[in-house]
Amino acid sequence: MDFATLLQMLDATLRLATPLLLACLAGLYSERAGIFDIGLEGKMLAAAFLSAAVASVSGNVWLGLCAGIGASMILAAIHGLASITFRGNQLISGVAINFLAAGLTVVVAQSWFRQGGRTPQLAGDARFNPIDLPFAEQLREVPIIGTIYYELISGHTILVYVALLMVPITWWVLYRTRFGLRLRAVGENPAAVDTAGVSVIGLRFAAVAICGVLCGIAGAYLATALQAGFTKDMSAGRGYIALAALIFAKWRPWYALYSCLLFGFLQAMALRSDVVENVIGFALNNQLLDVLPFILVVVLTGFVGKAAGPKAGGEAYVKER
């Protein structure tokens, strides 16, 4: 494998890791506050559809992004209502949200666009287009560093940089702000937070809302940046992989970045089976390459160290009387 191919692979890794990273950080806020969320998948899917639909009708991708975040927030609100207000089972609520999104997106897409459950192809301003970072063109000829800057770092859509920026922001919010401290506390020991006079319910709703925003961006990225339009079930298990990446990262932001890059790399491998064949010397089966991330999830969560999540995760908080 030559240098150019390596850069192409890493470039694809970055693009494919972006939705995983956004969803993973979304899950991080929610789970750190003690709310399990397997509905990441559904929220991404709903956001992907509505962002593509609005972008295709209005021709403005930013409106699409807002609509996508809105769709995701509605599902997040349902999840919050079910698991915080009505103290329902968080796993079941997440499953319901995934099915709701899987069904509604196709039903509504068919009703609006009559293209067999997809949106029209997006082009021009209805999509997030790659942006060139400053001096990319000038530095292009500089050996190695310039090439890396031009090929790998520059030339992504704005959402890729937003996702990457969210990692230090999340770290800062969680570990350096009062809100973050309380958020982490509410996932470990909600009774203590309650005793301190801080609203458990308010904090948890805030966490679920942040989760909704980030999933919305992730979904919009899928339909308006990574691809040009919505197709049925386009999230393709990314929400679940993000969840597994979160467990592997032991609910910490920087490790979330690394594990999402790992899964992104595996997905990039599936896209470039020719490169994989060149490197290892024999052809890997395409189905195997496709499910490699899923197999890795099982291996990672099962065999590499025990991961203990936030202590109060999955439990609704009931005030003592």
Partner 1 sequence: MDAMPKWADVILIPVISIVLAAILSAFVILAIGENPWEALKLMVSGALGSTYGWGYTIYYATNFIFTGLAVAIASQAKLFNIGGEGQALLGGLGVAVICLFIPWPHWTLALIGAAVGAALFGAAWAALPAFLQAKRGSHIVITTIMFNFIAAALLNFLLIGALKAPGMEPATSKFPEATHLPSFQDMFNFGDTTFFRGAPANVTFFVALAACVLVWALVWRTRLGFEIRSFGESESAAKYAGISPTKIIMVTMLISGALAGMMAINNVQGEAERLVLNAAEGAGFIGIAVALMGRNHPFGVLLAALLFGFLYQGGAELALWTSIPRELIIVIQALVILFTGALDHMVRMPLERLFLAMRRA
Give the nearer residue to partner 1 in terms of CB position, either 4 or 92: 92
Residue 294 interacts with partner 1 (CB under 8 A): yes or no? yes
Selected binder of partner 1 within 139, 173, 301, 315 (CB under 8 A): 301
| Pair of tokens at residue 245 | 């990446």
Q: Please name every residue paired with 131 in a beta bridge, in sequence order, or none if there are none.
A: 156
Nearest to 127 by CA among 222, 228, 231, 50: 228
CA 314 to centroid of chain Cα atoms = 20
d(CA 171, CA 169): 5
Residue 91 interacts with partner 1 (CB under 8 A): yes or no? yes
Selected binder of partner 1 within 159, 297, 310, 312 (CB under 8 A): 297
Give the nearer residue to partner 1 in terms of CB position, either 83 or 170: 83
Selected binder of partner 1 within 21, 26, 38, 183 (CB under 8 A): 38
Q: Tell me the torsion sign for CA atoms 114, 117, 122, 126.
A: positive
Least distance in Å: CB of 137 to partner 1?
A: 42
Q: Which stretch binds partner 1 (CB under 8 A): 144-152, 187-195, 251-259, 299-307?
A: 299-307
Count of residues near partner 1 by CB under 8 A: 48
Least distance in Å: CB of 244 to partner 1?
A: 6
Which residues, in sequence order, are CB contacts of 5 under 8 Å at separation 6+? 275
Give the nearer residue to partner 1 in terms of CB position, either 56 or 90: 90
Give the nearer residue to partner 1 in terms of CB position, either 146 or 237: 237
Q: Which stretch binds partner 1 (CB under 8 A): 108-116, 124-132, 159-167, 204-212?
A: 108-116
Selected binder of partner 1 within 117, 216, 229, 253 (CB under 8 A): 117
CB 232 within 8 A of CB 115: no
Backbone phi, psi, residue 156, to 5°: -105, 170
Give the nearer residue to partner 1 in terms of CB position, either 98 or 154: 98
Residue 295 interacts with partner 1 (CB under 8 A): yes or no? yes
Residue 102 interacts with partner 1 (CB under 8 A): yes or no? yes
Give the nearer residue to partner 1 in terms of CB position, either 197 or 302: 302
Which residues, in sequence order, are CB contacts of 66 under 8 Å at separation 6+? 54
SS3 content of the chain, % helix, strand, coil (to 5): 75, 0, 25
Selected binder of partner 1 within 252, 291, 315, 317 (CB under 8 A): 291
Nearest to 98 by CA among 33, 45, 31: 45
Classify residue 19 as left (phi > 0), alpha (psi -120 to 50) or beta.
Answer: alpha
Number of alpha carbons in the 13 Å side-chain half-sphere of residue 193 = 25
Give the nearer residue to partner 1 in terms of CB position, either 197 or 285: 285
Residue 202 interacts with partner 1 (CB under 8 A): yes or no? no
| Pair of tokens at residue 156 | 């992504």
What is the contact mask toward partner 1 in residues 68 to 87, using x (rule: CB under 8 A)?
Answer: ----------x--xxx--xx
Four-CA torsion 44, 50, 66, 45, nearest 10 degrees? 0
d(CA 76, CA 204): 11
Give the nearer residue to partner 1 in terms of CB position, either 78 or 160: 78
Contacts with partner 1 by CB under 8 A lie at: 38, 78, 81-83, 86-93, 95-100, 102-104, 106-108, 110-111, 117, 237, 240, 243-244, 247, 285, 287-288, 290-291, 294-295, 297-298, 301-303, 306-308
